Amino acid sequence: MKTLEKLSFPKLENEFLENILRQLANQHNIIQMFFTRQPSFVFSHLIIHIEKNMDAQQLQQNKWVKKVRKLSQIDVYFIYSERLHHRFSLGHPFIEFYCQPPAIIYQNKESGDSLIITRNWTKYKEKFNVFQERFYNDHDLHKSQIQNLISEGSSNSVFTSYARLIEYDLEYLEELYSGNRSASLNLDERITNLIEYIPDIQKYFVRNSHSKYYLIDLFVKAKEASINDDEAIYKNEMYEAVGIAEQSLYRLIEERFDQLKKLIKKKLFEKQEASCQIDNELKDETLDIAVETILKSLEVEQIYLYHQITYGEKTTYYLMLIAIGSGNEKLRLINQSLKRKTGGKYDFVLISHHRNWIQTNLYQYQSFFANIVQGKHLIYSSSQYHPEFHWEVPHNPYHADLYFYYKPTKDIALQFFTIANNAEANYQGIDYFFSLFFLSFCRTYIFVKTYYLPNYLSNEALWQLCMYADPDIHKYNYMIEQFWTDFFPYLDKHMTLNHKLSKLCKEEVDQMNVIVEKLMRELHNLVIEDGLLLSFEQD
């Protein structure tokens, strides 16, 4: 065995790692070391062939392994001799490529257990095909079992079976990219680990949190329901979404097989080009200012320009943000900043949600978001790897709880009329009822038209969303323009209670009365006359 002083590994170009490998060779029965530098890939690979399984497991847990991986992008993999030779005999493409003779940087000549690959592509081709077909055959078997369960309507069993199939896919991806599978980790952890090798995998799983995923959580709930003999979770609409995610993993495996096949055949590295680049070129200077301003205030993943209207000389941009920590107050401040920067010539309607919130609420709001989250509307993305939503298919939109939005709006209008039409002209509190009615009307109207219930945005933003929901509502805009004071600042002012006397005159109250009357009639026709609430008492 070579001494510490004589061993050198110039190919590594890493003094820290060289010192560790000298020590390893002196203290353990290291048979071979294979190193493949891959500047165009995420990680270079250092495979250390060692005699015993126990030594391989213990050394793999050393802190320096993670340090080298993080700082030098070198993936260190300890593999014991029996496993290495067995995988070679099976034609494992990872071993076939990364353990070629040119990759050997150390070999213990005293050991008779070295792996020396001498076969060419012609001799290896048959083993490669058998290895690949084994995956395809087992995958097809898993898939056919799932289709049978779907036809039987076994909701919990479908999801638990999909969980096993996705686990099977992840095992192959781990094997083909790192040479080793992480059987002790859960699916969330395995997906997160694979992102380092395959950034594209982020596109296929919406996160619940930093390291948890929506679909995996669905699998866990189905498994718990099955174990506890609970009722089915009845998420049939998610079958297609889960199928799409699984098919995406399947495609990644196909691509990796094809990639390794080419590398083995040619014995050289192929340059990897980004399969997708986000075009962040904005459509005009105003949008450039808007995106720049938003990014300074929020942690934004994506921005969609989903609508744009021009009335007179003013253009309104409708932007949806997928972002973190974007409350209504922050959106209001951003809007004020944008109006200052654009000289008041443009309006901006900003709505914002966290990606996981959208995913969780698709059962209610998918019709709205599906029209917005489209490539043609995307004007900014912080990464090309943001996941697509797991859309429900089929999705049947319905107005859940519409009664509980319409009824309060109607009741507020009736309270307003009572005060507005009293003989003593006592209008105390009417401005608050007027503001509350307008907010309630807008949210209910938007919900009826788009199946989306907005947050408590500013009154102006809500009205602009009403015009997005149905441009015909703009016919009432003249009442807002002719209001006796600035309409929206007046409403926003009275969204907060103040203890003071009302100084409204009859003419001002009459204007309010006309607005409430006309808008309430519009909502009544939409909800009651069109039969959306036939099952409720129409009082």
Task: Determine which of 36-40, 103-107, 339-343, 398-402 has the lowest per-residue pLDDT on average.
Answer: 36-40
Instruction: Calculate the alpha carbon distances from 146 to 151, 242, 246 in Å.
Output: 9, 11, 12
Q: What is the pTM of this model?
A: 0.80
List, for residues 251-263, the tens digit of each pLDDT value.
999 999 999 999 9
Mean pLDDT of the 510-534 span: 86
| Residue at 240: amino acid letter | E
Q: What are phi and psi of 494, to 5 degrees?
A: -95, 15
Q: Which two tokens stand for residue 530?
A: 């069109």
- pLDDT given at position 232: 63
Span 184-227, pLDDT tens digits: 999 999 999 999 999 999 999 999 988 899 999 999 988 888 77
Beta-carbon contacts of residue 337 (< 8 Å; ≥ 6 apart)? 293, 297
| Distance (Å, whole) CA 303 – CA 291 | 8
Neighbours of 338 (CB within 10 A): 21
pLDDT at 274 > cutoff 50: no
Peptide bond into 394 cis (omega under 30): yes
pLDDT digits (tens, 9 = 90+) for 353-402: 999 999 999 999 999 999 999 999 999 999 999 999 999 999 999 898 89
- pLDDT for residue 39 is more than 70: no
60 vs 285, more confident: 60
Q: Indicate if the pLDDT at residue 499 is higher than 50.
A: no
Mean pLDDT over 102-123 rounds to 90
Closest by CA position to 75, among listed 172, 171, 199, 178: 178
Q: CA 75, CA 53: separation in Å to the nearest integer?
A: 19
Phi, psi of 349 (to 5 degrees): -105, 110
Instruction: Tell me the CA distances in angstroms from 520 to 410, 414, 461, 481, 490, one per residue in order.
Output: 7, 10, 19, 19, 20
Distance CA(307)–CA(375), nearest Å, equals 14
Q: What pLDDT is stored for residue 42 in this prediction?
A: 78
What does the block give as tokens for 286? 């105003």
* CA pair distance 204, 169, nearest whole angstrom: 13
Angle made by CA atoms 198, 204, 206, in degrees to the nearest 5: 115
The stretch 95-113 carries a mean pLDDT of 92
In this model, does residue 537 exceed pLDDT 60? no
Max avg pLDDT among 222-231, 336-345, 502-511: 336-345
Closest by Cα among 302, 190, 301, 208 to 249:
190
